[in-house]
Amino acid sequence: MKIAVLIARILLGLVFTAFGVNTFLHFFPMPPPPGDAGLFAGLLFKYGWFAFIAVLYIIAGVLLLLGRYIGIALTILAPMIVVILLFHITMNPQGIGLALFVAVLEVFLIYAHWHHFGAVIHGRHRKTTDSNHNL
């Protein structure tokens, strides 16, 4: 299980780091998709949304590659992966393969690192013993 988690973490980190850096350096070509999907992507580029998203991709990808703050990295990526899936389901179904791949990796890593998310899901918080924190 540890090896599968390591491989999934590195793959997801590489995918998002590469796509994030590619937004700025254009080392592999990404022609705009046809139709409304291309118009939508063009608007996101024109108004700087992709640059902001790319920075988040790079941050989360590097955190995954380093194996640090994995819970934060997965939390950053989760809503973006949902949007990527929705984009491909509704506007560009021919590109859904990679989207499904990263979604599966994300779900697997959330399952493997569930201990990072338990308090959020169950609404519990850590009790402090320091009297300064009990305001």
Q: Is 135 within a domain? A: no
122: left (phi over 0), alpha (psi -120 to 50) or beta: alpha
Residue 126 has pLDDT above 90, yes or no: no
What would the two tokens of residue 45 be? 């580029």
Name the nearest CA neighbour of 8 among 108, 113, 116. Answer: 108
Q: Looking at the 3D structure of the chain, how many domains does it have?
A: 1
Task: Work out the pLDDT band at 115, boundaries 50, 70, 90.
Answer: confident
Q: Is 82 within a domain? A: yes
Name the nearest CA neighbour of 61 among 11, 1, 2, 134. Answer: 11
Distance CA 71, CA 52 (A): 20
CB 102 within 8 A of CB 81: yes
Helix boundaries (H) for 1-135: 2-25, 36-46, 49-66, 70-90, 96-112, 118-122
Q: Is 104 within a domain? A: yes
pLDDT at 95: 85
Q: Which domain holds residue 85?
A: 2-121
Q: Is 130 within a domain? A: no
CB 109 within 8 A of CB 9: yes
Q: What are phi and psi of 63, to 5 degrees?
A: -60, -40
Q: Is 102 within a domain? A: yes
Instruction: Kindly report, residue by residue over 71-107, the tens digit of the pLDDT.
Output: 999 999 999 999 999 999 999 998 899 999 999 999 9
Global confidence as pTM: 0.84
Q: Is 128 within a domain? A: no
Instruction: Kindly report, residue by residue over 15-52, the tens digit of the pLDDT.
Output: 999 999 999 999 998 888 889 999 999 999 999 999 99
Q: Is 49 within a domain? A: yes
Q: Is 133 within a domain? A: no
